A and B are shown apart, each in its own frame.
Chain A
């Protein structure tokens, strides 16, 4: 055989070796044998849980943030001995890779429940598989309205986009704004919120200007909005781009009342936009005034040396809910499915009340926030 073919076979061998390498932290519990509903031995032993999110690539900042929320929750859950172990998988923001991750977690690690994904598009692509394999899929932050049709194994800890839109309309009403401009990130989330807002808002929309994920220069988009002379501009984004928009808008002399969506109520916006951020309003999903939130924030800062983001709040609560469900009904999908419904009804965590409705989606409870003296604080409604 030729030298080169030998090289190839050697490489294959290495690949197989790598692939079959036993994980450094194997689950000690013996594997259950049924292929359908993944089951693991009952309470008293460690339950392995899956996590799929975008841990690399353009959206990694959000996926990593969600991971931190889960890790903080695990500290609390495993404080008296290890009860839950999480296997973190990367979906690379791609439906095909998410499916690979899903199958690995379900077939190889035999998890009864998977936390994920952040992106609605990825979560939606996993829905049919979750239903088919009867594995609970709970997203902390996917908000596409289509999630309602996913089936009863699929949950989301955050209200769908059509909840934020009407809330924005309420803000517009409070501000007595009969004409506004909207800027939105051009993805499923941004479009979803924008559409929901446009449906609820009764006034005139001067312009609905999209902008792109990953871009850095929004000056022309801003000038287009500025040209319509708005007094109030609603903006929906995931932080990275929105913070640049506010900064560049200030530099270009645009003086308006900004109202942001829930993702933008974050420290980064203030860090980047500096003085320009003063006075901007935003929606906060959940509440920062509750003792749960304050306790969570302190613990998060202590562990990670940085303030938590909305992604961490929500994924923290998702993990806690799953842990509570497992506590009640054991480490199996049916139990967790039932348990989640029950334990969520009275649960109020750092990201607010989580009672799942008939679609398995938490309610949309919002606070209004405003930036004052360089910090996001509660907005006092008169």
Chain B
């Protein structure tokens, strides 16, 4: 059924976002509330380059990743040394500012009217213009992202990162330059978010600023929280569960008069329940076996 394929594609894309956020928040302790901005930068960059300038899609996708990572770097320089809540606030502000840019820079992004006609993904000339084909591709992408971030997590770098998250002063006492560890996590995370964005653009063939709202960032936060901070598999699975829950409520046959807000209400209540009964997430972090 096409809707199943569609949902799976969205799950893989949001799953990559969850992995990226997990790297930044779960592993490095950076409360990046501006996630949607990097997602959007990747999307718009890849869309504009391929649509307006005829750049081959694979290349434009990479450009999106690179630009997101670069912006992550620039933003990170001054902000990474901020503590938890403040970092959250600053990144949120930057995220909203970026969305205002998407909305207002009409000559480039067409503002609220959105960018239609984004070319489909193509691999070596072979066009991925149906949903199942795209799903295969996005699945490969999320698999690569997953493996990549898992390798990071299990590496010495990952161990230090965990140390930084738990006790930054302790890590510093051991001579680690915590600042750069966090920067690297932020840059890689932003790049991954940019990848997700590019994929989204080429799947939907249409993007507008409404796809990059704060709500999405909250949704992904919920996913990594549910899956267990630092747990990449958990993050992806939780993304899937949340998506199925959210869209599954459409099938629940709620009274049409209030179905839509009722779906939101149920979703909110379920989340509160889940958070209260499993505050550390549903799957605890797996300690690497050789620790």
Do A and B have CB atoms closer than 8 angstroms in the complex? yes
Name the distance in Å between B243's Cβ and chain A's nearest Cβ. 9
Whether the pair A96, B116 counts as a contact (CB closer than 8 A) is no
Interface check B278, CB cutoff 8 A: yes
* A255 to B: closest C-beta gap in Å: 31
Interface pair B3/A56, CB less than 8 Å apart: no
Inter-chain residue pair count (beta carbon < 8 A): 134
Please tell me if the beta carbons of A188 and B113 are within 8 angstroms of each other in the complex. Answer: yes
CB-based contact B244/A103 at 8 Å: no
**Which residues between 252 and 310 of chain A lie within 8 Å of chain B, taking CB atoms?**
none
Instruction: Indicate if the CB atoms of A20 and B251 lie closer than 8 Å.
Output: yes
B288 at the interface (CB under 8 A from A): no
A103 touching B259 in the complex, CB below 8 Å, given contacts A24-B253, A124-B114, A128-B205: no
> With a CB–CB cut-off of 8 A, which chain A residues contact B282?
4-5, 7-8, 11
Contacts of B204 in A (CB 8 A): 95-96, 99, 125
- A100 with B1: CB separation less than 8 A: no
B247 beta carbon closer than 8 Å to chain A:
yes
Please, how many angstroms separate the alpha-carbon atoms of A21 and B252 in the complex? Answer: 6
Tell whether B54 is near chain A: CB-to-CB under 8 Å: no
Flag if A107 contacts B3 (CB, 8 Å): yes
B 198-209 to A, binary, CB cutoff 8 A, 1 in contact else 0? 001000111110
B6 touches A99 (CB 8 A): yes
Interface: B103 (CB within 8 A): yes
**Shortest beta-carbon distance from A182 to chain B in Å:** 16
The reply on B79 being an interface residue by CB < 8 A is no
Out of A5, A88, A107, A146, name the residue touching B283 (CB < 8 Å): A5
Asked if B103 and A186 make an inter-chain contact with CB atoms under 8 angstroms apart, the answer reads yes
- List residues 1-21 of chain B with CB under 8 A from any CB of chain A: 1-3, 6-7, 10
B81 contacts chain A at the CB level, 8 A cutoff? no
Q: From residue A99, how far is it (CB to closest CB) to chain B in Å? A: 6
CB of A95 within 8 A of CB of B283, answer: no
Q: Which of A60, A103, A144 contacts B3 (CB 8 A)?
A: A103
**CB–CB B264/A56 < 8 A:** yes
Residue from the list A4, A5, A86, A108 in contact with B1, Cβ < 8 A: A108
Docked pose: A255 CA to B94 CA in angstroms: 39
- A306: min CB distance to chain B, Å: 15
Q: What range describes how many residues of B lie at the interface? A: 35 or more
| A18–B252 touching, CB < 8 Å | yes
Given contacts A7-B278, A15-B244, A95-B211, contact A124 B6 (CB under 8 A): no
- Nearest A residue to B117 via CB reads A128
**A90: Cβ under 8 A from any B Cβ:** yes
Cβ-defined contact, A96 with B261, below 8 A:
no
Docked-complex contact A100 and B241, CB < 8 angstroms: no
Write out, one digit per residue, whether chain B residues 211-247 have a CB within 8 A of any chain A CB (1) or not (0): 1000000000000000010000010010001001101
A71 to chain B, nearest CB (A): 9
A residues at B contact (CB < 8 Å): 2, 4-5, 7-8, 11-12, 15-16, 18-25, 55-56, 60, 67, 86-90, 93-96, 99-101, 103-104, 106-108, 121, 124-125, 128, 144, 146, 186-188, 191
Contact sample, A vs B, 20 pairs, CB 8 Å cutoff:
A4-B228, A4-B283, A4-B284, A8-B234, A11-B282, A18-B245, A18-B251, A18-B252, A20-B251, A23-B253, A24-B253, A60-B260, A90-B250, A95-B114, A95-B207, A103-B2, A104-B251, A107-B2, A186-B111, A186-B112
Given A24-B254, A191-B112, 13 more pairs with CB closer than 8 A: A2-B283, A7-B278, A8-B283, A11-B274, A21-B253, A23-B251, A24-B255, A56-B263, A90-B260, A94-B211, A100-B3, A124-B114, A186-B112
